Amino acid sequence: MKLKDGFSGEHSLVLPQMIVKLMENDPMTSALHLTDLGYYPKAAHHFRERVRPIDQYVFIYCADGCGWYELNGRHFDVYADQFFILPAGAPHKYGADENNPWTIYWIHFGGTMAQHYAAHNISPVSLNPGVTSRIKKRNELFEEIYNTLNSSMTLESLRYAMGVLHHYLSTLAFLNEYRMSGPEKFDTSIVKSVIHFLSENIEKRLTLKDISDFSGFSVSYLSAIFKAETGYSPLTYFNLLKIRHACDLLENTDMKLNQISFKLGITDPFYFSRLFTKIMGMSPKAYRTRPKT
């Protein structure tokens, strides 16, 4: 399994051709399988042009920043919380915005069912955070696929990962059904709606104005009611959510500290370490290596 190296904080992999052939011939994975996948945070100068088409569909989800792509002579701009799927067998090119480069999740996939997941997604599709959105849950599915394939290439692992891929792509193909089928009881109160919004945007850098704009209230009013109910300011609470997620990644993945930092929308790993230490009382490295009770 070949690991790529390019953008600070990235994690990505390319499956060996032998493994791809195995999945193409396996009855449980031939319907849908991937060949490559990855996560590129703040991918400055990212650019790809394929004059000679490839056999896979190309899925790109822009989690933050901006980018663009060209297909069949048409130009499309892509913004945060949008995804698109480029068809197999078609020349294309895409890249990050020069001033606000995108953070992307990407997958190359194929199989007899691939065209059905890719249908109607040539133009950018928005996944705007809201009270019923489940963006964080979807991103966790992506990480489950990655972690499974990165740790094992057994047939059972491949079948499981491709099963999760079905689920992942289904959350996009059937967006409304996915949003409304979650076990959460969605609360429309101001503070709980804002907390959900913060959780859905945990990989981004938000300002207090971004948060107040979502709530529909002024910065001063939102800050007052939020602190009255939670004991924290919105931005402090946002940092608490980020560090809680960092703890989960430290405990349950092999991601490097700089990868975790970028995954949380923090482009300075040293600042991430200081913030983690301030909140948890120990460094990220010490947290990962601490004795488990």
Q: What residues contact 52, with CB distance under 8 A and at least 6 apart?
A: 91
| 257, 269 Cβ separation under 8 angstroms | yes
What pLDDT score does 132 carry?
Answer: 81
Strand order in the sheet with 47-50: 47-50, 92-96, 66-71, 74-79
Q: Does domain 2-180 have CATH number 2.60.120.280?
A: yes
273-284 confidence digits (pLDDT tens): 999 999 999 999
Domain boundaries of the chain, sorted by first residue? 2-180, 190-289
In a 10 Å sphere around its CB, with 0-12 CB exposed, 13-18 middle and 19+ buried, how is residue 208 labelled? middle
What pLDDT score does 185 carry?
Answer: 52
pLDDT band at 4 (very low <50, low <70, confident <90, very high): very low
Three-state secondary structure call for residue 83: strand
Equal fold, 2-180 vs 190-289:
no
Instruction: Give the fold, CATH level 3, of 190-289.
Output: Arc Repressor Mutant, subunit A (1.10.10)
133-166 confidence digits (pLDDT tens): 899 999 999 999 999 999 999 999 999 999 999 9
Least confident of 105-119, 130-144, 176-190, 215-229: 176-190
Reading the block at residue 220, the tokens are 């001063």
Handedness of CA 129, 131, 136, 142 (dihedral sign): negative
Within the chain, where are the H helices? 17-25, 114-118, 135-151, 155-173, 175-180, 190-200, 208-215, 219-230, 234-252, 257-263, 269-280, 284-289
What pTM was computed for the model?
0.81
Q: Does pLDDT of 292 surpass 80? A: no
